[in-house]
Amino acid sequence: MLHFKPNQPLAPLSMKHLLDQGSKLSSAEIGRIANLFMRPDSQPRDSHPFHQVYFNEVGRTVIDMISYVLGFRTSEYVDETILAVMSIFIPGHLPAIKFDFATFIRNKIHEKFMSLNREGVFKYTAYIYHLFLYYQTDSF
């Protein structure tokens, strides 16, 4: 259950979708992303993944946020999934596509809980109670 009602439809977000979109990015689109988010002296000459140090400050901030939401442990290298999300952004403008991040994060949390062993679940009871109360407030 989400605690907000979006005023426009949100595009579903999944890793499969991002991998598909990332593999379909043209060299022109990658060039556009590079012009917006990479340092001028570090424009791509080879294929991705790109190292994060090649990106400007705005690019590194966007990469860090995307990596965090997608659940990556590091944002050192920028692969096709991150490029696919970066392709919707233009600095100073609203995103071209509005993804359903809330549902994506909810599903990722659910996956992590389902993969915990029995002992692991009981280690995180306070956290689990918080999630139940937060997402099911009308049941209490």
Tokens of 113: 């809980």
Which of residues 5 and 29 earns the better pLDDT score? 29
> pLDDT tens for residues 80-106?
999 999 999 888 888 888 888 888 888
Kindly report which listed range (60-74, 96-110, 119-133) carries the lowest average pLDDT score: 119-133
Predicted structure pTM score? 0.72
Share of the chain above pLDDT 90, in %: 30
Q: How many helices (H) and strands (E) does the chain have?
A: 7, 2
| Partners of 63 in beta bridges | none
pLDDT recorded at residue 49: 87
> pLDDT tens for residues 123-139?
667 766 676 666 665 55
Task: Locate the domains of the chain by residue range.
Answer: 15-86, 101-139
